[in-house]
Amino acid sequence: MNSFDAIYAHILRTNRNDERIPIAIVPNVAVTEKVVVGFPLEVIGIKLVAETQPDSSTGTYLLTVAAAGNNLLAVANFDLETLVADTPQTPALTATAADLILAADALVTFTLTSNNLDLTGAGLQIVLQYRAR
């Protein structure tokens, strides 16, 4: 069995998978990353981790996650400055279960917005966790 077979076997056994999205931390700009869903799925979690904690002494650094026009997070914006270096954090998902069910070819949009030039931080990754439907 090659490594691809082992990964596929793991996905079938657990019926879940993760999509890792590296994100550049850029001051005073909105950075948008998009993921196209290849098959019908249910979003079961979002994990965030940064090598260096994002910090802006006079501004904000916020995350929004949307699909099919719906916010996938329980809050409008997640404050990325609450992350602790090298410590995965899991923001709460929306309580509207139907919003977490995505059709094939749906687009998931991650928008990270900084409003100040003093933003620092490095090595941010978002992990979209899902299971096939």
In a domain, 74, yes or no: yes
In a domain, 2, yes or no: no
In a domain, 115, yes or no: yes
pLDDT tens per residue across span 1-28: 433 333 333 344 445 577 788 898 999 9
Cβ atoms of residues 100 and 42 within 8 Å: yes
Is 50 exceeded by the pLDDT of residue 55?
A: yes
pTM of the model: 0.85
Strands (E), 4-123: 17-23, 30-36, 41-49, 52-55, 61-67, 70-71, 78-79, 101-102, 107-114, 120-122
Which residues form the domain of 21? Answer: 16-132
In a domain, 28, yes or no: yes
Kindly state the average pLDDT of the residues 33-40.
90
In a domain, 11, yes or no: no
Is 70 exceeded by the pLDDT of residue 56?
A: yes
CATH number of the domain at 126, please. Answer: 2.60.120
In a domain, 97, yes or no: yes
Residue 61: pLDDT band by 50, 70, 90 thresholds? very high
Q: How many domains does the chain have?
A: 1
pLDDT of residue 20: 83
In a domain, 8, yes or no: no
pLDDT tens per residue across span 67-119: 999 999 999 999 999 999 999 999 999 999 999 999 999 999 999 999 999 99
